[in-house]
Homo-oligomer: A and B are copies of this chain.
Amino acid sequence: MSEESRRAPRPRAGRTTAGRRQLRHSLTVAAIDLFLEQGYETTTVDEIASAAGVGRRTFFRYFRSKDDAIFPNHEEVLQDIERLFATADEKRNPVEVACAGVGLVLDFYLSDPDVSVKRYALTRTVSSLRDREVASVDRYQRVLARFLRERFAAAGDPLADLRGSIAAAAVAAAHNHVLRRWLRSGGKEDAHAHAKEAFQLVTEASSLYEPARTESDDEQTVIAVMRTTTSLSEVVRQISAAYRGDDA
């Protein structure tokens, strides 16, 4: 399966920049294949390196550690998210913006289904790799939390820190749920449709936290009449619509 990567006759030195990207990818492919084939712990870095046709020392010039080989570089995605947050309209619902942020992560996984699915098979099996994955998810969640805390605090919420943390966790969990479902489907399902649904759910739940509008001159009265058999979430949906003046 990794025949070509195993015996690819590569230049031994003086590699060009494009060649570097190629070799990096070859190492990743070799690592994933070997891990799936004969297990993570039993595979040595020596084997990965020689499968890609390079020396062991070179492997560590491309990846900090053995497990690094199969994980994507999240730095760029994190920067994209930061940019999105920095340029987001102040008036937009912060939770919606946060959902758009993790949407970038989802797209990142979706952009290479083959590697993502194979990696998922490994992170499910090998506990140390799962921990690694969880740690990277946490990094995203921290960025979300920081953004939401700031926005909530700017809106005058006295519990901004707490609510920001919770909302960030909820958004991240929604993303993880959609991603895992997509991964379990082998990368075949329509993840974006599920993401939209999940993000809507989170946004609704966190709409509770919108502060009362105090500056409104047009004070109105909202009257809701419902039967107890109506689901509570439906009640809230209608009431918050009335709140926003979406008519009713």
Contact = CB atoms under 8 A, between A and B. Distances in A.
A130 to B, nearest CB: 8
A173 B177 contact: no
A189 interface: no
Contacts of A174: 162, 165-166
A119 to B, nearest CB: 17
Interface in A71-98: none
Contacts of A170: 166, 169-170, 173
B239 A235 contact: yes
A202 B234 CA distance: 19
A9 to B, nearest CB: 38
A225 B229 contact: no
B209 A206 contact: no
25 contacts: A130-B135, A131-B135, A131-B138, A134-B135, A162-B177, A166-B173, A166-B198, A166-B201, A166-B205, A168-B173, A169-B170, A170-B173, A205-B205, A210-B233, A211-B231, A212-B232, A219-B227, A221-B225, A221-B226, A221-B227, A222-B227, A222-B228, A223-B225, A235-B239, A239-B239
A12 to B, nearest CB: 33
Q: Is the interface of A mostly helix, strand, loop or mixed?
A: helix
Contacts of A202: 166
A229 B205 contact: no
B177 A161 contact: yes
A173 B174 CA distance: 14
A236 B236 contact: yes
Interface string A193-228: 000011001101111111111101001111111111
Given A177-B165, A201-B162, A228 B214 contact: no
A227 B227 CA distance: 21
Contact of A222 (B138, B169, B173, B226): B226
